[in-house]
Amino acid sequence: MKTVKVGICGLGTVGSGTFKLLQDNAADIAGRAGCEIVVGRVGARRDNPDCDTADTPLSRDIFEVARDPEVDILVELIGGTDTALKLVREALVNGKHVVTANKALIAEFGNQLFAEAQQAGLSIAYEAAVAGGIPIIKALREGLAGNRVLWLAGIINGTGNFILSEMRDKGREFSDVLAEAQALGYAEADPTFDVEGIDAAHKLVILASIAFGMPLQFDKVYTEGITQLSTSDVEFAEELGYRIKHLGIARRAEDGIELRVHPTLVPEKRLLANVNGVKNAVLVEGDAVGPTLYYGAGAGAAPTASAVVADVIDLARAIACGQKPLVNALGLEVEQVVEQDILPIEAVHTAWYLRMTAEDKPGVLSEVTRICSEAGISIEALIQKEPEEGETRVPLIILTNRTRESNLVSATAEIEALPSIEGSIMRIRVESLDG
Amino acid sequence: MKTVKVGICGLGTVGSGTFKLLQDNAADIAGRAGCEIVVGRVGARRDNPDCDTADTPLSRDIFEVARDPEVDILVELIGGTDTALKLVREALVNGKHVVTANKALIAEFGNQLFAEAQQAGLSIAYEAAVAGGIPIIKALREGLAGNRVLWLAGIINGTGNFILSEMRDKGREFSDVLAEAQALGYAEADPTFDVEGIDAAHKLVILASIAFGMPLQFDKVYTEGITQLSTSDVEFAEELGYRIKHLGIARRAEDGIELRVHPTLVPEKRLLANVNGVKNAVLVEGDAVGPTLYYGAGAGAAPTASAVVADVIDLARAIACGQKPLVNALGLEVEQVVEQDILPIEAVHTAWYLRMTAEDKPGVLSEVTRICSEAGISIEALIQKEPEEGETRVPLIILTNRTRESNLVSATAEIEALPSIEGSIMRIRVESLDG
């Protein structure tokens, strides 16, 4: 049996998880790859006390891994986009295939890297970059290859989903749960990437590029975080039969592609509405297959290593037979990946949840509904409660039908200008996700 | 761009769906395959008025397709195991790769066919044979290749799931829903394959062989249908916080592999419990990735064609590059697929739901609980209702903890022998599916 050598750069959570998985399941993995897969060199600036690399050659200079003539596949697990970019390029220059879990790198530099890899006859595999252990890249790119994908929607940030699940289950406020998530290690000390949707936007861009055969365009994603959500929104949504999820959505609309990350009301019966805690799930609607859903752990050492190792096996299988890996990074040759118009968010059509604070006096509701009606926005559901004891203001919650975003924005501005409406209106998009 | 030619045998629902999908999405498919994919010949005993094969050569003798020197890939969609087996062998003899949606053929003759294909350097692809459009074969065999699979559980028969969903949602009896399913075309005139679990057993065997790297052993599956379920079971399950699903379960137990298809109580919070109607879903627990779930349409022309075409694209991609497809049918070379002990059902451990009819008099409960206690079966939950007006008997429902099946069987036999218990005890297995 042949041996294929892997060089692992980065010995953090995922790096040590990958090292361990390749060892623990070595026999099964060899059977599936048709060759032995051995870690030939590890590159790490410092040791990881939880990972005994024992007899494996170790370089403090990770670039040595990219230049090691023994290494067939470089596994980039250092993160970030600066050194990682240089490292991947160094690997390609040295004729090595690359496996990475780095969503930022792929989302922001994938177009160039994929072109350079194709030129060199090499592969860059990145299953672990989106939704951790869920084999969603393979499913979308190969499993659904006969389909024209119409849309996809995913819970692709575990931290955000954990926070929203806790807010709903325990009625806790955002900031409170965030602090706990940080203590548990689910959220970074600086949680911006997770709670502002940047991490989800990185992943969405990758999924959308495969789905629609277009270049990665991270700067075109509309991104809205979950920091503004209150438990009252979670509760009103519940009352209306919905759950609030932070979704990445890509859709082939009539006049362009929608690319957006934002809190979303989802009907409570949908499987996606029932994905809780740190779990991820992606719903993909193909023209032939209809809706399909992929669920699992979106992060963590072992689940992410599962995806990294799957990529390694795919590459090793080809290397061992002296063949070229056949599946292109985005499912198409670089030359066939074509630019498509991305819709500005103003032009996107969705339904809406609106929560406003109104004075409890006659006529307010009729003014609000008049403005909606004049804007062609019909009201699907409405909640108005009696004021609390001693309170003269009441929350007013409206679910609208689908309307163009620019239309909704101007209508809500008009409503906000009413003297009987206090402060600004909380707006959350609603998606039926019913195919 | 090169052209790869497909021969489609069978122009029924899936055959015409495949023909249509290859035409409708031809440009996208060519991009992903790196070659044009053309239907070079159709073999069908009779025309399908819904499928205009127009300029494609058509043979009434399907074996002509297997012998057509122009055809690179034979797509077997005639069903059954008699002619289909001969056809696939004829295709292999003539040097053609095979794609099939035929679960019975793979489950019953896969071992020999895979060996013959390997010998000939050819592939037999069968994504469409399990769970329709869900790319579960690819996910399990490639996406989770770094894992040791611990267990899997699937709703893999849409007809059965439709019936159970209707029984729960509308309180309808089995026979009533079955009649409707037949009228809707979800169930065959002879529904045995679906409602007795044979179809699910075919699919389970395929999934289990990939998961555990063992030969296909259809005759070893324990199979129990859903015909005995009553709406009262569905309702009592609901009261206990469970839903009843017809699951195919494969598990790596300490002393062997479990292979079983039977009605199962599943906690209502699990995603699998919320898969309704004709949809399919498979939950796979890997040692690294943890639980992952795959959901979608398990049948129908377009969803099944989606899976067939995905296989065709995988093969065409290799053929166009003059390469050999690299992934083995069960994920391993035929020689590495090793026999493993299949546990007899008596040796399987599960929790249980028991429903019995008891006389409404003192001491009955104490006798029943004494028998359980003496058998080491502890009771997790119990429902005993007051008798209906004028009724002297009451239903008694018990949820037990996990116990060996043989133990449960003898304890229930003892309970059935009590004079205060009438008739036989309804027994349904319970699975927590919590990894």
ipTM of the complex: 0.97
| CB-nearest partner of B296 from A138, A292, A307 | A292
Q: What is the reported pLDDT for A201?
A: 98
The C-alpha of B174 sits at a distance from chain A's nearest C-alpha, in angstroms, of: 24
- A287 interaction partners in chain B (CB closer than 8 Å): 24-25, 302
Q: Can you point out the beta strands (E) in A242-302? A: 242-253, 256-267, 279-286, 290-297
Q: In whole angstroms, what is the distance from residue B54 CA to residue B37 CA?
A: 17
In A, minimum Cα distance to B337 occurs at: A31
Q: What pLDDT was estimated at residue A435?
A: 54
Mean pLDDT for A84-91 is 98
Residue B86: pLDDT over 70: yes
> Under a CB-based contact definition with an 8 Å cutoff, are residues B301 and B139 in contact?
no
pLDDT of residue B406: 97
State mean pLDDT over A344-355. Answer: 98
Compute the distance between CA of residue B380 and CA of residue B401 in angstroms, rounded to an integer.
Answer: 6
Q: Which residue of B has its CA nearest to A331?
A: B32
State the pLDDT at residue B189.
83
| Residue A219 CB contacts under 8 Å (≥ 6 apart), including other chains | none
Minimal Cα–Cα distance from B406 to chain A, Å?
Answer: 33
| Cα separation of the two ends of chain B | 47
Average of pLDDT values for B391-415?
Answer: 97
> Which residues in chain B are contacts of A302 at CB distance < 8 A?
287-290
CB pairs under 8 A between A and B: 220
Binary contact (A31, B302; C-beta < 8 A): no
- Chosen for mutation from B32, B269, B274 (greatest number of chain A CBs closer than 10 Å) is B32
Q: Which two tokens stand for residue A261?
A: 């990350």
Contact at CB, B302 and A290, closer than 8 angstroms? yes
Q: Could you tell me which of B171, B176, B169, B139 has the C-alpha nearest to residue B154?
A: B139
Considering the domain delimited by B3-132+301-336, tell me its CATH architecture: 3-Layer(aba) Sandwich (3.40)
Q: Do domains B3-132+301-336 and B141-297 have the same CATH topology?
A: no
Mean pLDDT of chain A: 96
The whole-number pLDDT of residue A333 equals 94
Can you tell me the distance from the alpha carbon of B33 to that of B4, in angstroms, rounded to the nearest whole number?
10
| The amino acid at B179 | A
**pLDDT of B330 higher than 90:** yes
CB atoms A290 and B296 under 8 Å? yes
State percent of chain B over pLDDT 70: 100
Residue A171: CB partners within 8 Å, gap ≥ 6? A231, A234, A235
Distance from CA of A340 to the nearest CA of B (A): 15
Say how many C-beta atoms besides its own lie within 10 A of residue A112's C-beta: 13
B289 with A274: Cβ contact below 8 A: no
Average pLDDT for B314-326: 95
Partners of residue A309 in chain B, C-beta under 8 Å? 145-146, 288
CATH topology of domain B141-297: Dihydrodipicolinate Reductase; domain 2 (3.30.360)
Q: Provide the pLDDT for residue A385.
A: 86
- pLDDT (average), residues A364-375: 96
Distance between CA atoms of residues A26 and B114, nearest Å? 25
Interface test with A, best of B29, B123, B144, B270 (most A CBs within 10 A): B144
Closest alpha carbon within chain B to A291: B296
Distances (CA, A) of A243 to A275, B195, B295: 10, 35, 20
Helices (H), B280-398: 301-320, 364-374
Q: Is the pLDDT of residue B69 over 60?
A: yes
Q: Do A306 and B297 touch (CB under 8 A)?
A: no
DSSP state at residue A344? P
- pLDDT(A215) > 90: yes
pLDDT at B186 over 90: no
Distance, in angstroms, between B233 CA and closest chain A CA? 23
Residues contacting B405, CB < 8 A, separation 6+: B345, B346, B347, B348, B349, B350
Domain ranges of chain B: 3-132+301-336, 141-297, 345-430
Residues from chain B contacting residue A286 (CB–CB below 8 Å): 133, 306
With 60 as the cut, is the pLDDT of residue A77 above it?
yes
How is residue B386 annotated by DSSP?
Answer: P
Alpha helices in A278-323 (DSSP H): 301-320
Whether A67 contacts A44, CB under 8 Å: no
A302/B289 Cβ within 8 A: yes
Q: Residue with structure tokens 């209150």?
A: A230
Catalytic residues of B: 203
What average pLDDT score do residues A205-227 get? 98
Tell me the average pLDDT across B356-360.
Answer: 95
Q: Which of chain A's residues have a Cβ under 8 Å away from the Cβ of B17?
A: 288
Question: Mean pLDDT over residues A245-254, rounded?
Answer: 97
Contacts of A298 (CB under 8 A, 6+ apart): A131, A132, A133, A134, A155, A156, A157, A158, A161, A278, A279, A280
pLDDT, mean of residues A362-385: 95
> Given an 8 Å threshold on Cβ–Cβ distance, is B146 in contact with A326?
no
Degrees, nearest 5: CA angle A370-A371-A376: 95
The predicted structure's pLDDT at residue B169: 95
Q: What is the pLDDT of residue B435?
A: 54
**Residue B222: half-sphere exposure toward Cβ, Cα within 13 Å:** 19
CA distance B427 to B376: 17
pLDDT bracket for residue A434 (50, 70, 90): confident
Q: What percent of chain A has pLDDT over 70?
A: 100
- Helix or strand holding residue A429 (H, E): strand A421-430
The pLDDT of residue B268: 96
Average pLDDT of chain B, as a whole number: 96
The backbone region for A241, taken as left when phi is positive above 0, alpha when psi lies in -120 to 50, beta otherwise, is: left
Residues of A in contact with B281 (CB under 8 A): 293
Residue of A nearest to B284 (CA): A296
Q: What share of chain A is helix, strand, coil (3-state, %, to 5)?
A: 40, 25, 35
pLDDT in tens, B224-281: 999 999 999 999 999 999 999 999 999 999 999 999 999 999 999 999 999 999 999 9
Work out the minimum CA distance from B186 to partner chain A, whole angstroms: 17
Nearest CA in chain A to B301: A288
Burial class (CB in 10 A: 0-12, 13-18, 19+), B75: buried
Shortest alpha-carbon distance between residue A34 and chain B (Å): 8
Provide, as residue numbers in chain B, all residues whose Cβ is less than 8 Å from the Cβ of A310.
142-146
What are B23-38's pLDDT values in tens digits?
A: 999 999 999 999 999 9
Does pLDDT of B131 surpass 90? yes
Burial pattern A253-278, b for ≥16 Cβ within 10 A else e, equals eeeebbbbbbbbbbbeebbbbbbbeb
Please tell me which residue of chain A has the smallest CA distance to B271.
Answer: A271
Cα separation of the two ends of chain A = 47
Q: Which pTM value belongs to this model?
A: 0.97
Q: Which of B134, B213, B310 shows the shortest C-beta gap to A145?
A: B310
In CATH, the number for domain A345-430 is 3.30.70.260
Give me the mean pLDDT over the A141-150 stretch: 98
- Chain A residues whose CB is inside 8 A of the B143 CB are 127, 135, 138-139, 307, 310
How confident is the model at residue B144, as a pLDDT?
Answer: 98
Nearest CB among B31, B145, B310 relative to A332 is that of B31
Distance between CA B364 and CA A170 in Å, rounded? 42
pLDDT of residue B164: 96
